[in-house]
Amino acid sequence: MRRSLALGAAVLLALGGCSVGSNTGGNGGDQEITFLTFETPNLTPAYWDAAIKRVTDKNPGIKVKKLVAPTADGRTSYAKQLLQSGQFPDVLIAVDSAGFAEAGNLYAWTPEELKDFQFPDANPVKGKYYQLPANTQTIPPIYYNKKMFADAGITTTPKTWAELEADADKLEEKGFPPFAIGGGKDGFPSSMILSGLVSTEVYTKVPDWLTQRRRDKVKFADPAFQTAFSKLADLAAKGYVDKTNVSRDYAATEQAFLDGKSAMYPMGNWFAANADTKKHDFEVGVFNFPTEDGKLVVPAYTGGGMIVNAKAAHLDAAKKFALGFQLDKDQLDASVKADGLFPAIKGYTPPGDVGPTFKAGYDLYTQAVQQNAVVHAFRWETADDGLLPGMKDKVDQAAQDVITGRKSVADACAFLDTEWAKAG
Amino acid sequence: MGEGGLTHLAAVASPPAPPKTRRIPASGRRRKPILPRVWHFASFGAPGVLVYLCFVMAPILISFGYSLTNYNPFNPPVKFVGFDNYRLLFTDEQFLTALKVTTVLTLIVVIVPNVLGLGVALLLDRKGRLYNALRSVFFTPVILSSVVVSIVWSRLLDDRGPLDSLLRALGIEHPPGWLSDPDIALYSVASIVSWQMLGFCVVVYLAGLQGVPSELLEAAEIDGAGPLRRFRAVTWPLLAPSLTINTVVLLISAFKTYDYVKVITNGGPGSGATATIAFNVLQTGFDSNHVGYASAMAVLMLVVVAVVTTVVLNFLRRREVDL
């Protein structure tokens, strides 16, 4: 009996020793923090390791334990799982703050801490700011194959929707599939065109459309949203968007464009990094998503930065690491080159040796900022002005339903309203 | 010899009665005390019972508890809603679609590997190195990770993948959208699951075939029965236990299909073309944060699986008894 008790005690001690979250740090006075990252073809393990080292070298008292989300697209879901199992990391990057913030899990940054950021009031959650507004992403500009455009006799890039359709027609006639889209296990490449359409058509009239959707003042089934959505349906009906492409995952979609399988690729500006570094035998150009009347409108999302666990064992170390990571010039330069990001830091200018595709996209964005022509990027917002949790997938599904002809635009919009009601 | 001597003899002839302690059982071994025996069995059973209680019963009970609430970890407080979640399920188009998808997938995954597995097992039920090698070939997919299988097949079935390239080379300009056509994608996923489970069925049927007594088959042959008749009258009835095992295992595997759907199609194309109930449970619970509602789905799925499995098992077992 005594032996059994001893065994039980040993098991309990062992379990106690294995528990997560002790975070006492290993080396002397080091304060250990956990940091959740994700990996993509751009953001490799080496990128993250170098980035962490850069910050910890400048802050020797901080030790960082890197965690990696199992999938890039599912990092927010993974963070939720970690939270529910009592393993919420101390610092997380590019994870939506919505939900976590309202439940009191995130540290709210002070205006003083946000003073170096260009858009400190991006992504408010009930008036507070939880995610560092670290960078801006334009979503989506349209990347194009200059050779195909030239071969189809297209000399200038389209500014209006009618011009885009006319160009798509010319490309199709020449035997070049106009648009590269994707889907499969990564839904977002299938809804990129829808994002552009809603941002440029709906948000120009109602800039806080999603905030109003949360108040039930507007609906997906409203004519404005349906009109924008129907343009995607038209492209699919004409065969400019190939419905068989919805089985392609993100990596395969990008590769298809780089392999010259399609003439245009609507994608976030992060694609520029790969366009400038990956092998392809044509020149990549980029133009702003066209609008109905040709007026300049650039959909963009500012955020994507770090959030910090309000209950972190070493909260000060976590905050210091997050700010150090997001404001370090060398790290910002590295993120520009690796992921094509536009750092939203006051006074920052990208390094002179960036690639031509990045530079072209950055110039388009800078002009839009100067002309005050930036709107939110539909589907990519993450705070009070964003979609309800779980709705991003539904938007991707609705886009796929319309592309494959499984649903009419009206049915797809009704589906979104039904799902919104369930998600609320 | 005096009286004393007789007394002594009598004493020798009838030994003194044993002391009144415990009775010795007929076997000659002492009966063990009841309490240590309970302890003995408890020490054997406790780990299993503990695991069962902690990892099976407790989660089921907790899930059932959650299913009666609006629990959303990101939107406190938790409120008791009774059976509202269950009522909502029966009007939820997404859930009803998932129910349909799961039913179709289950039917395919139960029938196809069973039928093909039996055929392959009959072909491989011979001696020789080649047959041993072929058995390994058929069994290999079973030991692969379902995620690896899903990735490989999604590459093969991609619109620009090798299969479609081959079909185009053969002159089929527009091959089917294996994973992109909402009317085909579910059958593609079901085929991939069936492909992986085929080896399992083959092995179980092969084991069953090797248990068929050769005398019975020879007797049937002497009686003039042809191969088909011998299979129908002798082999097939004796394979009943193999059929039971395969059917029940496939049934349960198919009902909880999540990994293939997540990796290959993420529930699409579009809204729910391949989304199973298990997939919906995870999506609703972790992406939309509606743990209460997702728990109701999970509990309902558990009930459906339990009922269907019990019915099928009883039906197949009765068939075994009737032999």
Contact assessment for residue A419 and residue A387, using Cβ atoms and an 8 Å cutoff: no
pLDDT over 90 at B127, yes or no = no
Nearest chain B Cα distance for residue A349, angstroms: 37
Q: How far apart are CA B304 and CA B312, in angstroms?
A: 12
Amino acid residing at B155:
R
For the residues B249-263, what does the mean pLDDT come to? 94
- By percentage, how much of chain B surpasses pLDDT 70? 88
Residue contact B74–A183, C-beta within 8 A: no
Residues within 8 A of B (CB atoms), A 82-101 only: 83-84, 99-100
Report chain B residues whose CB lies below 8 A from the CB of A401.
182, 269-271
Facing residue for A397 by CB, picked from B73, B271, B288: B271
Report chain B residues whose CB lies below 8 A from the CB of A419.
94
pLDDT at A22: 37
Q: How far apart, in Å, do the first and last CA atoms of chain A sit?
A: 55
Residue contact B182–A404, C-beta within 8 A: yes
Number of residue pairs across A and B with CB atoms under 8 Å? 122
Angle between helices B146-156 and B185-210 (to 10 degrees): 130
Averaged pLDDT score across all residues of chain B: 87
pLDDT at B5: 40
Task: List alpha helices for chain B, DSSP H.
Answer: 3-13, 34-52, 58-67, 84-89, 93-124, 129-143, 146-156, 162-169, 185-210, 214-222, 227-230, 236-238, 240-255, 259-264, 277-282, 291-321
Closest CA to A72 of A37, A99, A30: A37
Closest CA to A407 of B186, B105, B269, B175: B269
**Tokens representing residue B75 in the block:** 């939107």
Nearest chain A Cα distance for residue B136, angstroms: 31
Residue B237: Cβ-neighbour burial (10 angstroms; 0-12, 13-18, 19+): middle
Averaged pLDDT score across all residues of chain A: 90
Nearest chain B Cα distance for residue A182, angstroms: 10
Residue contact A389–B160, C-beta within 8 A: no
| Confidence band, pLDDT 50/70/90 cuts, at residue B32 | low
Q: List residues of B whose CB lies inside 8 A of any A CB.
A: 73-76, 92-94, 154, 157-160, 177-182, 185, 262-273, 283-284, 286-290
Q: How far apart are CA B8 and CA A281, in angstroms?
A: 121
pLDDT at B9: 40
pLDDT over 50 at A25, yes or no = no
Return the DSSP state at A198.
I
Report chain A residues whose CB lies below 8 A from the CB of B158.
247-248, 252
- Measure Cα distances from A198 to A224, A379, A395 in Å: 9, 9, 12
| Segment holding A52, helix H or strand E | helix A45-58
Contact assessment for residue A413 and residue A204, using Cβ atoms and an 8 Å cutoff: no
Chain B nearest-CA residue for A397: B270
Determine the longest span between alpha carbons in chain A, in angstroms.
89
Task: Decide if A394 touches B, using CB distance below 8 A.
Answer: yes
Nearest chain A Cα distance for residue B143, angstroms: 22
Task: Decide if A254 touches B, using CB distance below 8 A.
Answer: no
Report chain A residues whose CB lies below 8 A from the CB of B287.
77, 389-390, 393
pTM for the full predicted model: 0.83
| Tens of pLDDT, residues A29-84 | 689 999 999 998 778 999 999 999 999 999 999 999 999 998 777 788 899 889 98
Residue contact B262–A394, C-beta within 8 A: no
Map tokens 């899990």 to a residue: A105
Facing residue for B270 by CB, picked from A99, A404, A423: A404
For the residues B273-279, what does the mean pLDDT come to? 96
Residue contact B154–A83, C-beta within 8 A: no
Residue contact A184–B76, C-beta within 8 A: no
User: What interface predicted TM-score (ipTM) does this complex get?
Assistant: 0.81
Nearest chain A Cα distance for residue B287, angstroms: 5
Nearest chain A Cα distance for residue B183, angstroms: 9
Facing residue for B177 by CB, picked from A102, A247, A422: A247
pLDDT over 80 at A285, yes or no = yes
Task: Decide if A337 touches B, using CB distance below 8 A.
Answer: no
| Tens of pLDDT, residues B133-190 | 888 888 999 999 999 999 999 989 987 789 998 999 999 988 899 999 999 999 999 9
For the residues A244-273, what does the mean pLDDT come to? 93
| Confidence band, pLDDT 50/70/90 cuts, at residue A28 | low
**Tokens representing residue A126 in the block:** 């009930």
pLDDT over 50 at A20, yes or no = no
Task: Decide if A393 touches B, using CB distance below 8 A.
Answer: yes
Q: How far apart are CA A284 and CA B49, in angstroms?
A: 64
Chain B nearest-CA residue for A183: B269
Facing residue for A184 by CB, picked from B92, B266, B273: B266
Q: What are phi and psi of A34, to 5 degrees?
A: -100, 145
Return the DSSP state at B126.
S
Residue contact A248–B160, C-beta within 8 A: yes
Facing residue for A77 by CB, picked from B159, B185, B287: B287
| Tens of pLDDT, residues A106-125 | 999 999 999 999 999 888 88
Residue B299: Cβ-neighbour burial (10 angstroms; 0-12, 13-18, 19+): buried
Task: Decide if A415 touches B, using CB distance below 8 A.
Answer: yes
